Each structure stands twice: as structure tokens, then as C-alpha cells.
Amino acid sequence: MGGPGRTARGRRAGRGAGGAAPGGAGAPRAAAFPDVVPAPGLRLVALDLDGVVWRGGDVLPGVAEALDQVLRRGLDIRYVSNNSTAHRETVSERLERAGLPAGVDRVLTSGFVTARWLRERLPEGAPVMVIGEEGLLRELREAGLAAYHAGRVDRAPRQSGAATPSGARGAGGQNGVATPSGVAAPAGTPVPAASPATPPGVPPDTPSPGTPPGVPPATARVMLPALVPAAVIVGMDRSFSYQTLAAAQAAIMSGALFVATNCDATFPTPTGLLPGAGSIVAAVATAAGSEPVLMGKPGPALAEVLAAVTGIPAGQTLFVGDRLSTDIAMGRAAGMITALVLTGVTGEEDLRAAERAAAAAAAAAERAAAERAVAEEATAAGTGGAAAAGPVAAGPALPDHVLADLRGLAALVDELRRP
């Protein structure tokens, strides 16, 4: 882990010396350093947060010095996180307390991007149900949506101003959850799950003979909103429960658009991995029999918003992340230069396995291409026979560079700036 940086795809990258830059942490932006020559190609360093900048509550070693050196080289810094639990302002305050380059405009989260995406498709005041935490609710409300938590349907709006999102499934031609009489129930009406108003999939309000002692039976009443929300947004939620799962299921099965802030199965903490938003999204998807629209990495939305808000094209952006399947996959797909740090989810062994899988996929693709050429030749010669190979699955995304930790960042930036 402490060895020199290396490349995963051929480019050489040195490990940063990690030495303190003159001026110390919190020094002004690069413009204050006339000796700094702006990078001709590279202009922006975008970093994931969890597992890259910090892990759990702890800032990782050498991060403040590394980011200070990036600024001194005339490059800009942005943080791009799949974590939707905190509002950007909260993240910025945390960065500031840690002595790192901060500012709301420096922070992009999956919650922010989700709110932005939804607001482009829904009218102001559209009701949206949330399985998520306060930061996500705040992002959605600031974007003009009437966001309420799935556990607090009593706070759902009484009037629907929602239109069906463009490109989304229809809301079944109704805005109210169907009641036996076909009349929408008043907001927050507790609906006994066994009543005829039980939405599809809500368990009956009868004690289960198999309920273990001390566990509330699946009897508890499921609160249904008076109106089907325009969308159900699912992210990381440490209050996630059977009841919120049932509420989300009912809304999605009634026609609400299903949106996931991210699908990270786990997230790293100093004591190991904990379940991430992806674990909750999978539960909702299973219950509702529906797949979500994905907003976070590896989807393209965060990369697109990053380019839009900075005006810096992907090709002049170095993306630093700790997870191959999200950070590196998004960065590669967007055309960024990518670097994997081994301080988070993806470890050395995972990287080796991914390299072997990528090599196997490349070999399979080569074989398939050769078989296709033979088949085409045979067809042209009229001899028939050979069958063309079918499609070959792509291998995992590999990073352009690998760093043991962020102490190697400045040396990598210098390497990339060399003509």
C-alpha cells in the first residue's frame, strides 16, 4: 500500500512525495502563486469522498497536503459523491472543519443531481416520497419539490400538482391511492393493511404465526398518502424499515416513478463495510418488481453536471475514486482520466481480480472477432459453415492510474501535466 504509484493501463505515475507545500493548508487559490504554470491539459481534479478523502469520521492520511498542492498547481478541485445523506452545505462545512478546500459549489452529490434531474421533469410542488435522510429531503425541497419521508406520509401534500414525469411510466391515470370507493383518502389516513384499500403487496393486518417474540408483527398499519407521489426517491437511510419499504412499494406499484440516488451495495467505515443505499434500493426493487432510474455513479448524470457547472470538459478532468464499479466506471465512460486509490472499497486483491477479468474479456473479444472474420470469409466464398460468434460481455472498467493513497496525487498531477 505504501509503494510507488503505478499504472493499470500503461501510463506511468509516480507516487507523491507527500511533503508539505509552502504556505500550508488552507492557503489561497493558485492565482495567488505567480510561479504556478497552469496545466495545459489537465484543469480539474474531481474526487470521490468516502474512501478517498475520508473514511467514516476520519480524514485519510495526507489529504490536506495533497489537495493544497493540487490548488497550487493551478487546478480546480471538486468533490463528487454518491452519498446522498448530507446536503452539500453540510459536506462543505465538514470539509472546512477538516482544513480542506471547501465551498458548496465544490460539492456535487447524488442527492443534488437527483433533485436537479427530477425538477427538469416535474412541476414545482410535485409530491415526491423519499427513503433517505435529511440532506436528500433538503436538496429536493430546495429544488422546489414537495418531498416527504416514506415514514411520514402524514406530511404528504393533499393536493397533487404532479404531472407524470416525461419518459416515466404513467401514474395509472389517477393521483389518489385507490380506496374501495375509488375516493382518495385524506392525507395521512392510517389504512389498516387488511382493509380493502390494501395496495398490492402490502401484507395483511393479521399476526403472523411465525412472528418471533418481541418483534412487532407485520401488522402494523401502513400509512398511505392521499395521493400517489410523482416519484419515489430511494437513497441511504439509516431509519429504513419494513414500514417505509411497504410505503415505497405501494407508491411505485401505483405508478410513481422509481429513482435511486445510487446503488452502492456497501460503504466503507473505519471498522469495515456497512450496507449502502444499493442494499435498500434492491429491497424496494424486489418488493415493487420494478427497476429504478439510477442517478449516481456509474451512471452519467454526475459527470454531466460536473462538466456543466465547471465548464471543464471530461478530457481535462482527473477523477479519483476508490471503487472500480462506480467511480472508475463513470470516469472511463465519460472520457475522464481516472485514478484508483486503495484506501476505500476496492483493494489490491479486487484490482488484481478485475485485471484478470478484463484480460479474459479482451481475449474473448479477440477470439470472437477472429471467428466473425472466418465466418464472413466463408460466406463470401459461398462455402457457408462457420457460425459468427455472439456478443462478448465487456470486462470491468480499469483505472488509468493507481495510488496507494492521496499522498501520491501531486506527483500524478505533475506526471499528467508533462507534455
Residues that bind Mg ion (CB under 5 A): 48, 50-51, 322, 344
Q: Are strands 76-81 and 58-59 parallel, antiparallel or unpaired?
A: unpaired
Which residue pairs from 364-367 have beta carbons closer than 8 angstroms and sit at least 24 positions apart in sequence?
A: 364/392, 364/393, 365/392
CB of 48 to Mg ion, least distance (A): 4
CB of 49 to Mg ion, least distance (A): 7
The C-alpha cell at 390 is 455472439
Task: Check: CB of residue 318 under 8 Å from CB of residue 339.
Answer: yes
b/e code 240-254 from CB counts within 10 Å (16+ = b): beebbbbbbbbbbbb
Which helix (H) or strand (E) covers residue 349, if one does?
helix 348-381
In three-state secondary structure terms, 249 is helix
Alpha-carbon separation of residue 25 from 28, 76, 99 (angstroms): 9, 15, 7
The CA-based diameter of the chain, rounded to the nearest angstrom, is 76
Q: Enter the DSSP assignment of 227.
A: B
3-state secondary structure 109-155: EHHHHHHHHHHCCCCCCCEEEEECCHHHHHHHHHCCCEEEECCCHHH
Tell me if the bond preceding 101 is cis, omega within 30° of 0. no
Task: Check: CB of residue 55 under 8 Å from CB of residue 83.
Answer: no
Q: What residues does 191 pair with on adjacent strands? A: 222
In three-state secondary structure terms, 321 is strand
The C-alpha cell at 49 is 469522498
Cα angle: 190, vertex 192, 198; to 5 degrees? 105
Alpha carbon distance 349, 341 (integer Å): 13
Nearer to Mg ion, 227 or 404 (CB): 404
Backbone conformation region of residue 147, classed left if phi is above 0, alpha if psi is from -120 to 50, else beta: beta
In the numeric block, the cell 421533469 is attached to: 121
